[in-house]
Amino acid sequence: MKVITLGPAGTYSHRAARAVVDGGEDPDEAISFTESVTDIVARVADGTADRGVVPIENSIEGSVTESLDALTNTDVAVVLEIVTPIRHALLAQSESFSRVASHAQALAQCRGYLEANHPEATQEAVASTARGVEVAREDPTVAAIAHPDTADGTLRVLAEEIQDRTSNATRFLVVAPAEERQRGGGKTSLVVYPKTNHPGLLLELLEPFADRDINLSRIESRPSGERLGDYVFHVDVAAGLYEDRTAEAVAEVEAIVGEGWVRTLGSYDTRHVLY
Ligand SMILES: O=C(O)C(=O)C[C@]1(C(=O)O)C=C[C@@H](O)C=C1
């Protein structure tokens, strides 16, 4: 199983990806890296990798919009979701740093800590938390925000548990080639582009689920990119496509969108991973 995720090694996505590698396989051989989530999804769609692991939502900072957009624009399936606690540390060569480098999501998850403790430090968003660690290793003026293990004996752990809420957690999606779309699992994800707009449209799109007593676990709108005020909706429901009621509701939504489209990413289960 070839798994691709956000690199370099040591990212939170890398930690989540380890949970996808089969027991008998060496994770170091199975997992490869790239520095954008758009690229992860593209590598799965073109068959370079069997699975891709992308962050999709954080409990403090919300959606990872690049991942939502990659799922809008690329035909892939979602086969599993992984939820993990995210505990950040501040890592540097010494206390005398003037910049903090990390992934934009991680900087945002520690906004309160940084404002209270290092208001003078400038913040630099880099491709991942592990990339920030590489920068801090090369540059004594830079501190990184990342998992404490990434210090790896070469950086000092200046502070631990610096996320603004102890309950900080991120949800990752495991994507697979579109033909591996599943019907089994407790959750189903759809991307819905209604194309047109009229009063009550969103209500019409959601009624097929409400009518069948299917719980909506999430709805997120993203700009379609076509024009201002035109949206794509990411809808998650708490029921699998193997259930007739879910398949019927999706078919009804497909009929409602008419001129637009519905992409069914498939059904999947949730795995909670602690590390
Ligand atoms: O930079 C990393 O370590 C990542 O895996 C990315 C990412 C994200 O995009 O949300 C993953 C988990 C944390 O929420 C912070 C950063």
Give pLDDT, residue 177: 98
Nearest-CA residue for ligand 1 atom 3 is 11
Residue carrying the six token digits 């290793």 = 137
**Ligand 1 binding pocket includes 64 (Cβ within 6 Å):** yes
| Cis geometry, peptide bond prior to residue 8 (ω within 30 degrees of 0) | yes
Pocket test for ligand 1, best of 12, 53, 147, 150 (most atoms within 8 A of CB): 12
CA 170 to ligand 1 center in whole angstroms: 8
Are 101 and 93 a contacting pair, CB within 8 Å? Answer: no
Give pLDDT, residue 144: 98
Q: Could you give phi then psi for residue 172, rounded to 5 degrees?
A: -115, 150
- What pLDDT digit, counting tens, does each position of 89-120 carry? 999 999 999 999 999 999 999 999 999 999 99
Tell which CATH classification among 3.60.20.10, 3.30.70.260, 1.10.1040.50, 3.30.930.10 matches the domain 187-269.
3.30.70.260
DSSP letter (8 states) at residue 256: H
Q: Tens digit of pLDDT per residue, the chain (275 long)?
A: 999 999 999 999 999 999 999 788 999 999 999 999 999 999 999 999 999 999 999 999 999 999 999 999 999 999 999 999 999 999 999 999 999 999 999 999 999 999 999 999 999 999 999 999 999 999 999 999 999 999 999 999 999 999 999 999 999 999 999 999 999 999 999 999 999 989 999 999 999 999 999 999 999 999 999 999 999 999 999 999 999 999 999 999 999 998 899 999 999 999 999 86
- Prediction pTM value: 0.96
Give pLDDT, residue 91: 98
**Ligand 1 binding pocket includes 58 (Cβ within 6 Å):** yes
CA 165 to ligand 1 center in whole angstroms: 16
CA 182 to ligand 1 center in whole angstroms: 26
Domain spans of the chain, in order of start: 3-86+168-180, 89-160, 187-269
**Ligand 1 binding pocket includes 127 (Cβ within 6 Å):** no
Give pLDDT, residue 24: 86
CA 94 to ligand 1 center in whole angstroms: 24
CA 128 to ligand 1 center in whole angstroms: 6
Tell me, what's the ipTM? 0.98
Assigned fold of 3-86+168-180 = D-Maltodextrin-Binding Protein; domain 2 (3.40.190)
Give pLDDT, residue 67: 98
Domains 3-86+168-180 and 187-269 belong to one CATH topology: no
Tokens linked to 274:
């602690």
Cα 21 from Cα 19, distance rounded (Å) = 6
DSSP strands (E only) in the chain: 3-6, 31-34, 51-58, 62-63, 76-85, 89-92, 99-102, 122-125, 142-146, 156-160, 169-177, 187-193, 216-223, 231-237, 261-272
Cα 65 from Cα 274, distance rounded (Å) = 24
Give pLDDT, residue 249: 98
Give pLDDT, residue 75: 97
Give pLDDT, residue 258: 86
The architecture of the domain spanning 89-160 is 3-Layer(aba) Sandwich (3.40)
